[in-house]
Amino acid sequence: MVPGLSFHVINAWLDVTELCFLWDGFFNGTADSSHHYELRLSNGARDAHLFSEANIARAWVSTKRRFPLAGALVRGADNAPLRVATDSKADDSSGFASEPHFIVREHDLAVLRSCDIVFGQVTDAEEAQQQAAAILQGPRLLSGELLVQLHVFR
């Protein structure tokens, strides 16, 4: 928290589509999506700063400010991590022990969290494609604490 500044927290309930994505994430993550882009510098070393970690981080923070759910959390109504209801005493029809909701903290949109971006090295476009495939086929990286993650391979 920055001294002298106050930050807002917004809570919003999940709609049916968002709840379906949440359930999918709990069980197999097949609704997770990936976009793979290959970028090349047109002016070589002169424009290399465009792909610096600092510039990518600034761009990601700007993206989170424009699309706040990219920096949100999903929690239960009791503000605790989500738990699947194990009996018929679920708080609602969602199937969770308490109804899930988004938490958007203004502060989280203004900073880069350590889990927001993963930087890696590759030797060519084929290796980048293999890395992207490995991310999707490996253990799920997203959770209620991390709804979006950016992977940058250079």
28: tokens are: 């197999």
Model pTM? 0.78
Segment 73-92 mean pLDDT: 68
In order of 67, 85, 92, 115, 123, the CA distances from 71 in angstroms are 8, 26, 26, 11, 31
Burial degree of 91 (CB within 10 A; 0-12, 13-18, 19+): middle
Strands (E), 38-149: 73-75, 101-105, 117-120
Average pLDDT, the chain: 83
Segment 109-116 mean pLDDT: 92
pLDDT at 119: 95
Question: How confident is residue 7, by pLDDT bands cut at 50, 70 and 90?
Answer: low
> CA 152, 135, 23, 81: dihedral to nearest 10 degrees?
-70
pLDDT in tens, 16-59: 888 888 888 877 778 888 888 888 778 877 788 888 999 999 99
